[in-house]
Amino acid sequence: MRLTRHSRWQGVKRYAAVTLPVLFLAACATQEPTTSGTQNAASTGKPILAPKPAAPAVTPQQAELKSLVALQDRLYDVAAPLLVNNAVLCRNNARNLLGFTAKTKFSYTAEFIDAATSLGLTDQLQVTGVLTGSGAAKVGLQRGDLLVAIQDKPVPTGADAERQTALMLGPLVNGRSNIKVTIARNGSNQTLNVPLTRACAFGIELGNTDNVISYADGRRVLISAGMMKFVRSDDELAYVIAKEMAHNTLTHPARQRLTATLSGVIDNLVRLRPDNAPLSGAAGVKPYPQQLDAAADKLALYMVARAGYKVDDASAFWQRLATQYPATVLNGYTAIHPATTYRIAAIEQAVSDIQAKQASGSTVLP
């Protein structure tokens, strides 16, 4: 559950909820060497130890879920500073956030409930991610904490816990500076007054495809698993996330009349097993005009710099991406953002301006 004022709960039962980090309990076991030949208790003077039991086999569902959530964890970790440090740039998209996510085993489709259970989730909402720099992080909320009460009202449990808790939280974020949260940790309860955090309220989604692509639909940002494997650093991943945040902030999906199309693409790709047929072409997504793309690049670089990431290598990254995945790859990034040469000039100018402001100690704002 993404604990924001406006959360999207539709499809929780239909889709595997890979958009939120999950706490994993991992263990490994080694086995004592077996005896051979005539070596035995009598010859060694030591008792023969029974082999340790082998670790339980990892099911395909567990492996698949763990792999996807590992990508999601990294995506959220990189996105956190972008969201928390750019409320001033997100215009009408800034909201008060609690700054943590929570899930139950029922957050997944029936196929993955057993896998989620084996990895530590139950029918009680458990904190599965804390937004770096948020009020929740500052008061010490941790992964694995169980949600017991909010403003002294018991937190729902069971299959509908996420939706019911979202309805409980919705009215609380207006007119408050903090929210009282009771959690269970190590068998005992404790109460935290969680300050609300003003941040960009964009959903950050993982797309389950190896296509090297990213999308924005006005309220969400989707980065594909393929894109996450393509980037070489957190700085590069921050460029990609911020570029889609900038498109949303500048209302480009609406201006392109692509909101419904992009929402449909994202809804498909957040599924654990998306329909790959539309991805054989452009999925109905029109390329962005070069002026809109350059404007998003400029705003994105300011977001990246304000979040503490480097902007020095931005133009080199986009050139590398366009070279390896040119516009002829219809389901690739450059097909939607084809004006690479035009954009590079705008990127280099923005980088120069940002570095000058950083050097002079000026506020980094466009």
Instruction: Say yes or no: 78 and 139 in one domain.
Output: yes
Backbone region of residue 53 per phi and psi (left: phi > 0; alpha: psi in -120 to 50; beta: other values): beta
Q: Which residues contact 284 (CB under 8 A, 6 or more apart)?
A: 261, 265, 278
Let me know whether 255 and 191 are in one domain. no
Per-residue pLDDT 10s for the chain (366 aa) are 544 433 333 333 333 333 333 222 222 322 333 334 444 444 455 566 666 666 667 888 888 888 888 898 899 999 999 999 999 999 889 999 889 989 999 987 788 888 889 889 999 999 998 988 899 999 999 999 999 999 999 999 999 999 999 899 888 887 789 999 999 999 999 999 999 999 999 999 999 999 999 999 999 999 999 999 999 999 999 999 999 999 999 999 999 999 999 999 999 999 878 888 877 777 889 999 999 999 999 999 999 999 999 999 999 999 999 999 999 998 899 999 999 999 999 999 999 999 999 999 999 999
Q: Are residues 133 and 209 in the same domain?
A: no
**Is residue 268, in this structure, part of any structural domain at all?**
yes
State which residues form the domain around 354: 202-360
Domain containing residue 150: CATH number: 2.30.42.10
- Based on the domain organization, do 99 and 212 belong to the same domain? no
Structural domain ending residue among the three candidates 141, 168, 199: 199
Whether pTM > 0.85 for this model: the answer is no
**Do 189 and 297 sit in the same domain of this protein?**
no
User: Is the separation of the CB atoms in 48 and 164 below 8 Å?
Assistant: no
Confirm whether 39 is domain-assigned.
no
- Residues 153 and 276 placed together within one structural domain of the fold: no
State whether 353 and 215 are in the same domain.
yes
User: Residue 108 forms beta bridges with which residues?
Assistant: none
What span, in angstroms and rounded, lies between the C-alpha atoms of 27 and 55? 8
Do 184 and 225 reside in the same domain of the chain?
no
**169 burial class (0-12, 13-18, 19+ CB within 10 angstroms)?**
buried
The CB density around residue 234, as the number of other CB atoms within 10 Å, is: 14
The alpha carbon dihedral of 238, 243, 293, 286 has a sign of positive
- 177 and 145 in a common domain: yes
Domain boundary among 143, 170, 199: 199
If asked whether residues 239 and 323 sit together in one domain, one would say yes
Q: Do 188 and 210 have their domain in common?
A: no
Q: What's the structural domain count of the chain?
A: 2
Residue 324 and residue 187 in one domain = no
